[in-house]
């Protein structure tokens, strides 16, 4: 049973799903065009969005939505769609409300247990001026605009309860989820693992599944989960492209210890050969992606597999299904895409509906050690996107050693677990220095550490100076090729987390 969120392109849509899952209730995001009832909906939320109901290309609400008894909550643009659908009037407001706004609440189950005045986060230009017939206003803003209304089990609010700036926002969502939709908090990682294991068994039956292990958290956890379901019907393949961290190389051994045999393929020579002379970041990513598929395909063909296992997680899945018109490709993400059609494989994506923190909780449920679960994310193209300019084996070795020193210092100082992601980047420029009594001319290395919730936005992490000093001294002391170290102090946006 679930709460469905129909996405109209709001930047907060994913946040809504997270908030509801944090309440122990399963929630999914669907594109408005793909929405269809399947009988498991306890309630439907219509998200906000950047459009106006008077845009030429506005959305029509699915008629089916109101032929049922399933409760509906419209937020912001979702509220305006409801108003329009039932014959109310929405106007481009003379007053736009953006940011903190005082809202007075009147009687509604949605606002039970909440003070009669709250500060809420608004972001709208259009305003509902006249309510549809029979609907009752349940809140007004400090500008005397309609901030909420309802009719039977249809509720609408102009402000964003999912945003932390809205006082009692989570309580309002809880009222919708538990009091109006009558949901039960049954979504736990234990129940997820149990149901997925059953589901994988029933899909795969006695067939074979191949999967690529990258050393990262997602692909490893999905491997352990699937192995729990189908044992040695799963064939995990680990392709070493020469651009992995030291810690990634340990993963096949770690899995062996818990009874999972991984086929290790060292293809690093081929990757370095193909990367020769390439400096353009997108070209690097594409080359690695294509070479990866080529190597993996060759291996995979020797097994008579029917399925390909992938560690796709929710943000990737939403990204490709989103309604938002503004989503543009920033970087091409690398996975084994393209293979399923070429090899006639069916895709198995058991953690497709999980957020990163949920994937980690599944890992915990599966008994993986904390040190493994808390590892920082690592991009598919690996160290290649952290070596600016041409990638060579020599540079990869230098960067790998620097990354290892950085990681060890952060772990030792208790800082590693406080950071979303920390890594080193090897620049193509060199810098003059003195080592011993001689002039040196070494590489510049940048250190990046960021705080983030899901990698979509990030702020640079304020590492204590004594730790920065230790990192710098150790790296320059132990790696003679590195002559200078700088610290990256940019947020995302405007920059991205990775450098390429």
Question: Which tokens is 444 given?
Answer: 């510049």
Q: In the complex, what is the shortest distance from the CB of residue 404 to ligand XMP, in angstroms, rounded to a whole number?
A: 17
Question: Which tokens is 319 given?
Answer: 């990204």
Stretch that binds ligand XMP, among 68-76, 95-103, 377-385, 464-472 (CB under 6 A): 377-385
Closest to ligand XMP by CB, 28 vs 496, is: 496
Task: Give the CA-trace dihedral at 284, 285, 289, 291, to 10 degrees.
Answer: 10
Write out the E strands in 78-169. Answer: 89-105, 117-130, 136-141, 146-151, 154-157
Neighbours of 172 (CB within 10 A): 27
Contact 284, 385 (CB under 8 A): yes
Question: Which tokens is 199 given?
Answer: 């589901």
Q: What DSSP string describes 383-394?
A: GGGGB-SS--HH
Write out the E strands in 283-375. Answer: 307-309, 346-348
Q: How far apart are the first and last CA of the chain?
A: 41
* Of 97, 150, 155, 160, catalytic: 160
Pairing of strands 41-46, 72-75: parallel
Closest to ligand XMP by CB, 9 vs 381, is: 381
Closest to ligand XMP by CB, 62 vs 340, is: 340
Of positions 169, 252, 363, 380, contacts ligand XMP by CB under 6 A: 380
Which x/- pattern over 415-454 shows residues binding ligand XMP (rule: CB under 6 A)? ------x---------------------------------
Question: Cα 357–497–6 angle (5° rounding)?
Answer: 50
**To which residue do tokens 């004594």 refer?**
466
Neighbours of 15 (CB within 10 A): 17
Question: Cα 371–356–200 angle (5° rounding)?
Answer: 95
CA distance 430 to 200: 52
Total binding residues toward ligand XMP, as defined by CB under 6 A: 14
Say whether 162 is catalytic.
yes
Q: In the complex, what is the shortest distance from the CB of residue 282 to ligand XMP, in angstroms, rounded to a whole number?
A: 11
Q: In the complex, what is the shortest distance from the CB of residue 446 to ligand XMP, in angstroms, rounded to a whole number?
A: 14
Q: In the complex, what is the shortest distance from the CB of residue 157 to ligand XMP, in angstroms, rounded to a whole number?
A: 32
Of positions 208, 263, 474, 492, contacts ligand XMP by CB under 6 A: 492
CA distance 224 to 227: 5
Closest to ligand XMP by CB, 103 vs 447, is: 447
Of positions 211, 381, 442, 483, contacts ligand XMP by CB under 6 A: 381
* Of 76, 150, 168, 376, catalytic: 76
If binding is defined by CB under 6 A, does position 315 make contact with ligand XMP?
no
If binding is defined by CB under 6 A, does position 377 make contact with ligand XMP?
yes
- CA–CA distances in Å: residue 374 to residues 6, 63, 378, 418: 32, 45, 12, 10
Say whether 181 is catalytic.
no
* Of 97, 150, 162, 247, catalytic: 162
Of positions 7, 248, 306, 498, contacts ligand XMP by CB under 6 A: 498
Say whether 333 is catalytic.
no
Closest to ligand XMP by CB, 316 vs 397, is: 316
Residues in 27-66 that interact with ligand XMP by CB under 6 A = none
Closest to ligand XMP by CB, 448 vs 484, is: 448
Stretch that binds ligand XMP, among 168-176, 201-209, 328-336, 397-405 (CB under 6 A): 328-336
Closest to ligand XMP by CB, 268 vs 496, is: 496
Cite the active site residues.
Answer: 76, 160, 162
Residues of the shown chain interacting with ligand XMP in the complex, contacts defined by CB under 6 A: 330-331, 333-334, 377, 379-381, 421, 455, 492, 496-498
């Amino acid at each position: 049973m679930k709460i469905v969120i129909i996405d109209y392109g709001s930047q907060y849509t994913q946040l809504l799903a997270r908030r509801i899952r944090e309440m122990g209730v399963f929630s999914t995001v669907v594109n408005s065009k793909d929405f269809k009832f399947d009988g498991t909906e306890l309630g439907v939320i219509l998200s906000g969005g950047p459009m106006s109901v008077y845009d030429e290309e506005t959305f029509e609400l699915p008629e089916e939505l109101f032929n049922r008894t399933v409760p509906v909550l419209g937020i912001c643009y979702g509220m305006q769609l409801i108003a329009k659908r039932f014959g109310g009037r929405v106007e481009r407001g003379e007053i736009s409300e953006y940011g903190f706004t005082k809202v007075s609440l009147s009687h509604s189950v949605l606002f039970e247990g909440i003070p009669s005045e709250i500060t809420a986060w608004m972001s709208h230009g259009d305003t509902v001026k006249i309510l549809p017939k029979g609907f009752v206003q349940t809140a007004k803003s400090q500008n005397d605009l309609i901030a909420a209304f309802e009719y039977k089990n249809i509720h609408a609010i102009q402000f964003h309860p999912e945003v932390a700036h809205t006082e009692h926002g989570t309580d309002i969502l809880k009222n919708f989820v538990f009091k109006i939709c009558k949901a039960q908090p049954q979504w736990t990682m234990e129940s997820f693992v149990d149901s997925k294991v059953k589901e994988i068994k029933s899909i795969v039956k006695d067939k074979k599944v191949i999967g690529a292990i990258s050393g990262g958290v997602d692909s490893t956890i999905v491997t352990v989960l699937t192995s729990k379901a189908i044992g040695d019907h799963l064939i995990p393949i680990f392709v070493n492209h020469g651009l992995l961290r030291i810690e990634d190389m340990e993963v096949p051994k770690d899995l062996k210890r818990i009874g999972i045999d991984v086929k290790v393929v060292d293809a690093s020579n081929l990757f370095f050969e193909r990367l020769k002379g390439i400096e353009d970041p997108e070209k690097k990513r594409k080359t690695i992606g294509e070479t990866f598929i080529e190597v993996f395909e060759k291996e995979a063909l020797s097994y008579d597999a029917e399925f390909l296992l992938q560690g796709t997680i929710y943000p990737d899945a939403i990204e490709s299904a989103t309604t938002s018109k503004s989503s543009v490709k920033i970087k091409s993400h690398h996975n084994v895409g393209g293979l399923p059609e070429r090899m006639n494989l069916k895709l198995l994506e058991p953690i497709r509906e999980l957020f990163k923190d949920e994937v980690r909780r599944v890992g915990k449920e599966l008994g993986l050690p904390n040190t493994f679960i808390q590892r920082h994310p690592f991009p598919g193209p690996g160290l290649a996107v952290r070596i600016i300019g041409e990638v060579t084996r020599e540079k990869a070795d230098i960067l790998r050693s620097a990354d290892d020193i950085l990681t060890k210092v952060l772990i030792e100082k208790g800082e590693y677990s406080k950071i979303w992601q920390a890594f080193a980047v090897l620049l193509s420029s060199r810098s003059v220095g003195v080592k011993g009594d001689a002039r040196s001319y070494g590489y510049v290395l940048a250190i990046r550490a960021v705080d983030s919730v899901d990698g979509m936005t990030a702020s640079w992490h304020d590492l204590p100076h004594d730790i920065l000093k230790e990192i710098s001294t150790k790296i320059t002391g132990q790696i003679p090729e590195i002559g200078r170290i700088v610290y990256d102090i940019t947020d995302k946006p405007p920059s991205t987390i990775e450098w390429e």
